Amino acid sequence: MDDRTLLRRAVALADRCPPSSTFRVGALVVDAGGAVLAEGWSGRRDPHDHAEESALADLAGSDLAGATVYSSLEPCSSRASRPVSCTGLILGSGIARVVYAWREPALFVDGRGDEVLRAAGCEVVEIADLAPLVRRANAHLPGVAP
């Protein structure tokens, strides 16, 4: 499968998020051959879970070299609810490629995930034309228009 197809699948996972006052995000971890290793979404196990965090938790201890994270929203670079951001979790996992649709707007924190990942040597791909799908899933937030 290609990046667009896999990212659309991650975007669709946001529909599984429980009602919340935060972002509704979906994420996949995919191996180098295109096989989906794990799925995650915001609030999957705990109200504070982020989508990338949720997917990566299913793969703790796995060799993720060559894997890609697909996330509907740019991975967070800081957060109030947990000590490690999603960018930190991605970098700690050994994943060196991230594909996302929508840059995190400054509603809760100043998002710099793209820049942090690139500075650490990750390949980062933004597929911005899919961002309207992510905004639609997050239209419950103030200032987010579909």
Is position 123 annotated as part of the catalytic site? no
- Residue 96 CB coordination number (10 Å): 19
Question: What is the secondary structure of 70-130 as a DSSP string?
Answer: EEEEPPPS--SSSSS-HHHHHHHHT--EEEEEEPPPTTSS---HHHHHHHTT-EEEE-GGG
Type of residue numbered 84: V
- Which one from 39, 52, 53, 104 is the annotated catalytic residue? 52
Where in the sequence numbering do the catalytic residues fall? 52
